[in-house]
Amino acid sequence: MQKTDPLPGPRMPNQLFFPILRRSGVFGIVKLAPSLPMSPISQLTVDSSQSTAEPSASDRPSYIVDSDRYSRQILFPGIGAAGQQLLSTSHVAIVGCGATGAATASLLARAGVGTLTLIDRDFVEPSNLQRQVLFDEADARDSLPKAEAARRKIALFNSTITVHPRIADLIPANIDELLAPSGGRPVQLILDATDNFETRYLINDYAIRESIPWIYAAAIGGYAATMNILPAPSEHRTACLACIFPKPPSGPVETCDTSGILSTAVNLAASLQATEALKLLTGQPHLMRRTLLSFDLWNLAGQGNLDRSEIATSTPRPGCTVCGERIFSHLAGEGRPHITLCGRNSVQIHERHRPVDLPAMRERLTQNSDLTDVRSNDLLLRFRTRRGDHTLTLFADGRAVIQGTTDITLARTLYARFIGS
């Protein structure tokens, strides 16, 4: 089934689109926890000495030359040698390095996009391995931060590109820094691979303000959805996220917890997103799709038919507060609650203003008889409570994930007790 609907007018928002949104899982990837006071700044924690350095010439395999590596892609008329050259000088930021982000990063790294910035706040767990294609069992065993695990894996199959891992939660206070130019190359495109709509609205605000294209992508259950957003002054300007969905959904939404997820749906979303990225980066924005496209790959009622729907996004909505009136409320930090992470019984907390000395913290926690399994690596520290069986994972920026509860108050209490206030 296919249908193409006109862009909604300002008076036809939620009733029409939220059923589609909910059905297709457009937004519904996280549960929101009750609001807490604004969190302090999350900062970069990655060790730049090992993670952001471009491979030296001696590191690069002499037996692989780019003309060979990319030969099949160059043969494709849509790319060609000129397109391949453009890819090599491109800089793309991928926000989120879970299922969608890992798949998209893998595709673009193999395609030869010269610089990738990978932003992710999370670490690899066993339940990720079903769908997150850049991670392996050792990454899960070591609880490696996903951005760093992705960098290491990409370096194994394309050591000629530059990958900047950023272990951080993208928030208003750090978005300018995380999406800053690198090596003199500004971010040309932002790819959404997040699991929550707060971050998507934040990306939308930033992209419209800075006139940087971005591509929304989401998957849940057997659904996949994606949309290209080209801001002004592009002659190919489209509607923005807030044109289509002026407000985030209210009430319960589907999450990975409640609906599960098919890896194939994720890979479809990533594949569509990466293809649109290649069009943009090779200077062909006129070829980019101008719809919000969604698929149901496991259509119970479809009797074998793929359920596909499209909503036109060619024209910005008159009166849109973001791309029309340029009011960037999400960049201003309004309405950002603390978040319960997707797929786990856990809470993320920001409480600190300054980086944590992980070795010193480990030393202190090891002395605490209420704790067990205190482990750490260069990037994070993890320990478990003897009573209650809560696991706390502390990052070097002071951010923590408390597993074993969705109770914000309890999570804050545990943080204050063991990590400090």
Which residues does the annotation mark as catalytic? 256
State the minimum distance, in angstroms, from the CB of residue 17 to Zn ion.
Answer: 14
Counting Cα atoms < 13 Å in the Cβ hemisphere of 421 gives 6
Nearest C-alpha neighbor of 92 from the set 113, 107, 78, 70: 113
Q: 3-state SS string over 261-326? A: ECHHHHHHHHHHHHHHHHHHHCCCHHHCCCEEEEEECCCCCCCCCCEEEEEECCCCCCCCCCCCCC
- φ/ψ (deg, to 5) at 302: -85, -5
Q: Residue 207, interface with Zn ion (CB under 5 A)? A: no
Q: Which amino acid, residue 245?
A: F
State the minimum distance, in angstroms, from the CB of residue 323 to Zn ion.
Answer: 3
> Any idea what DSSP says for residue 417?
H
Nearer to Zn ion, 79 or 323 (CB): 323
Contact 298, 221 (CB under 8 A): yes
Nearest C-alpha neighbor of 135 from the set 161, 103, 167: 103
State the minimum distance, in angstroms, from the CB of residue 220 to Zn ion.
Answer: 24
Tokens 């804050």 belong to which residue?
412
State the minimum distance, in angstroms, from the CB of residue 212 to Zn ion.
Answer: 15
- Render 169-227 in DSSP notation, one character per residue: ---TTTHHHHTS-BTTB---EEEE--S-HHHHHHHHHHHHHHT--EEEEEEEBTEEEEE
Nearer to Zn ion, 163 or 322 (CB): 322
Residue 212: both structure tokens together: 């940087």
Please tell me the distance from the alpha carbon of residue 193 to that of residue 184, in angstroms, as a whole number. Answer: 25
Q: Residue 323, interface with Zn ion (CB under 5 A)? A: yes
Residues written for the chain: 421
Cα angle for residues 210, 318, 249 (degrees, 5° grid) = 75
State the minimum distance, in angstroms, from the CB of residue 242 to Zn ion.
Answer: 5
Nearer to Zn ion, 140 or 240 (CB): 240
Q: Residue 203, interface with Zn ion (CB under 5 A)? A: no
State the minimum distance, in angstroms, from the CB of residue 245 to Zn ion.
Answer: 10
Nearer to Zn ion, 245 or 395 (CB): 245
Nearer to Zn ion, 126 or 318 (CB): 318
- Residues in 12-41 at the binding interface with Zn ion, rule: CB under 5 A: none
Q: Which amino acid, residue 272?
A: L
Nearer to Zn ion, 68 or 325 (CB): 325
From the list 136-144, 163-171, 260-268, 316-324, the region that binds Zn ion by CB under 5 A is 316-324
Binding mask 229-248 for Zn ion (x = CB under 5 A): -----------x-xx-----
Q: Residue 320, interface with Zn ion (CB under 5 A)? A: yes
State the minimum distance, in angstroms, from the CB of residue 354 to Zn ion.
Answer: 37
Residue 33: both structure tokens together: 């926890």
Using CB under 5 A as the binding criterion, the count of chain residues that bind Zn ion stands at 6
Binding mask 267-306 for Zn ion (x = CB under 5 A): ----------------------------------------
Please tell me the distance from the alpha carbon of residue 69 to that of residue 25, in angstroms, as a whole number. Answer: 37
Nearer to Zn ion, 144 or 311 (CB): 311
Q: Residue 227, interface with Zn ion (CB under 5 A)? A: no
Residue 380: both structure tokens together: 């994070």
Report the interface residues with Zn ion, using CB under 5 A.
240, 242-243, 320, 322-323
